[in-house]
A and B are shown apart, each in its own frame.
Chain A
Amino acid sequence: AQSVSQHNHHVILSEAASLELGCNYSYGGTVNLFWYVQYPGQHLQLLLKYFSGDPLVKGIKGFEAEFIKSKFSFNLRKPSVQWSDTAEYFCAARGNQGGKLIFGQGTELSVKP
């Protein structure tokens, strides 16, 4: 069955701390992977995506993610978080021909100033 799981429901960090949010997927066939962010009161915005090629992808606002096929993982990282990174983060997967996204549960990140 297709599924995406995110390990952490709520992460609390102080500013300048490093961030890693876990994401594992189960998907038959070639997969496209995404991280979306939802700031308070705003809509889902794309942070970064992986379709193919270099497994280390860089996104907006200093975020990056690494696709590790052998571990079925696509963890999100940021070396130094800011208070403005407080948001909910969603990992999602779909087949490489497009179609529906399968979302993880979401991880709420709270950054203390």
Chain B
Amino acid sequence: EPEVTQTPSHQVTQMGQEVILRCVPISNHLYFYWYRQILGQKVEFLVSFYNNEISEKSEIFDDQFSVERPDGSNFTLKIRSTKLEDSAMYFCASSVVSETQYFGPGTRLLVL
């Protein structure tokens, strides 16, 4: 069964550094999402992406964040200058139009 994959599984970085989280969505899916879960808190929506552009973003998704689909398979989330409060589990998801979203295993980001 096709799955969403994410790399790396864990990332430790220093405050102020840039990080890129990578996702490979399911191949025939057209909608891509990033969510995050800060330890002990809800899973929160960050951004959705369709047809090579952002379709919706939350207030969390400020200028420090960007997303890109650099090729036909990868979907990336970049955090330009990480802050301590960016420490979280970041989940990528993909879906076919308005169908179920399928989630990847997540990347645990720790900002020191």
A and B from one complex: yes
Residues of A within 8 A of B (CB): 34, 36, 42-46, 49, 90, 92, 96-106
Residues of B within 8 A of A (CB): 4, 31, 33, 35, 41-45, 48, 55-56, 58, 91, 95, 97-106
Interfacial chain B residues near A105, Cβ < 8 Å: 41-42
Contact A46/B100 with A100-B56, A105-B42 known, Cβ cut-off 8 Å: yes
- Interface contact B48-A100, CB-CB below 8 Å: yes
Interfacial chain B residues near A90, Cβ < 8 Å: 43
- Interface contact B97-A98, CB-CB below 8 Å: yes
Could you tell me the distance in whole angstroms from the C-beta of A70 to the nearest C-beta in chain B?
25
- Interface contact A98-B42, CB-CB below 8 Å: no
Could you tell me the distance in whole angstroms from the C-beta of A20 to the nearest C-beta in chain B?
21
Interfacial chain B residues near A97, Cβ < 8 Å: 98
